[in-house]
């Protein structure tokens, strides 16, 4: 099992920290000494997760704050709260996501739900928090993607899936967008001389409620093929599935633009994983970043920070 290095004195934000890989990541960062903010859409679920973490590790520093990544007003409010606190942010873990929503659904801002929740919300959060991150001595942003992104492409002509919607295609595109965001943030850090490390991860096939929460929205049900695959494909629990993300977030051996996943693709200990060709295209990454700035109204100042 991956051992998280000492995190005493550090402040970390983990999105989607009430269950699955997010809760496991938060628990192990807190156990290593970090003060961890559980950024969750439903505070009651966050408080339950906080209680479970404290029961396992009494005395750790864990707090709950509301964040709905599908709502840009919530993203801004969450970021403003942290900025008002005035404490540098050492680590942002972009973990939260939604998967395979059966019918096209829009966020309050008019974005396709998977793109908005999985990419545009985390993008806006990351950019809002850059001043706090860059106030820390060695900040990191660790972003969770998915192996399904390997089969995706960014459709700039129908980014919001308005002409044609497929639950799996929209999900895969949103997770490829996360990879490209991670890569472009690493390039920005290099260009501006920021001490920030941006790295990514995927969890392989990890048993979490991600597999059921999205497909059951709007009265939907997981398809028979999906249900069968969930039973026969090799899988692992959140304890193992969170390790690539924890590695990206804390390992001294993680590198800018690095991408980490299970050794055997679906399961296993963490190893460095090559980005798919579609995620290595820096021209596409820069174009997507610019489009995300336009859509969210959030951007890095032209002169940097």
Q: Which two tokens stand for residue 158?
A: 């129908």
Which uninterrupted H or E stretch holds 43? helix 43-56
Residue 247: active-site member:
no
Question: At 63, phi and psi to the nearest 5?
Answer: -135, 160
Catalytic residue among 2, 171, 230, 260: 171
* Sheet containing 11-15: order of strands: 61-66, 35-40, 11-15, 91-94, 140-144, 197-201, 259-262, 270-272
Q: How far is CA 63 from CA 24, 28, 157, in A?
A: 15, 14, 41
> What is the residue-wise DSSP string for 211-258?
HHHTTTGGG----HHHHHHHHHS--B-HHHHTHHHHHHHH-TT--TT-
Which residues have C-beta within 8 Å of that of residue 115, sequence separation ≥ 6? Answer: 159, 160, 161, 170, 173, 174, 177
Residues catalogued as catalytic: 171
């Amino acid at each position: 099992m991956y051992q998280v290095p000492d995190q005493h004195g550090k402040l970390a934000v983990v999105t989607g920290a009430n269950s699955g890989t997010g809760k496991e990541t938060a628990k192990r960062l807190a156990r290593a000494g970090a003060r961890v903010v559980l950024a969750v859409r439903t505070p009651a679920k966050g408080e339950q997760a906080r209680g479970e973490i404290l029961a396992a590790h009494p005395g750790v520093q864990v707090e709950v704050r509301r964040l709905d990544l599908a709502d840009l007003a919530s993203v801004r409010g969450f970021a403003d709260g942290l900025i008002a606190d005035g404490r540098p942010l050492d680590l942002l873990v972009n973990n939260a996501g939604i998967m395979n929503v059966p019918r096209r659904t829009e966020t309050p801002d008019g974005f396709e739900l998977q793109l908005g929740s999985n990419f545009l919300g985390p993008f806006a959060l990351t950019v809002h928090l850059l001043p706090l991150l860059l106030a820390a001595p060695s900040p990191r942003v660790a972003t969770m993607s998915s192996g399904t992104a390997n089969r995706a492409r960014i459709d700039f002509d129908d980014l919001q899936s308005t002409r044609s919607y497929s639950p799996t295609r929209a999900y895969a595109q949103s997770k490829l967008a996360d990879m490209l965001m991670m890569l472009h943030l690493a390039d920005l850090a290099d260009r501006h001389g920021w001490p920030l490390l941006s790295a990514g991860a995927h969890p392989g096939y990890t048993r979490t409620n991600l597999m059921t929460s999205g497909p059951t929205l709007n009265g939907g049900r997981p398809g028979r093929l999906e249900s069968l695959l969930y039973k026969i494909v090799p899988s692992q629990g959140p304890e193992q599935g969170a390790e690539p993300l924890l590695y990206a977030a804390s390992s001294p051996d993680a590198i800018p633009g690095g991408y980490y996943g299970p050794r055997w693709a679906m399961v296993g200990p963490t190893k460095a994983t090559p980005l798919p060709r579609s995620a290595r295209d820096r021209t596409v990454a820069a174009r997507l970043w610019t489009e995300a700035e336009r859509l969210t109204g959030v951007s890095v100042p032209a002169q940097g920070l």
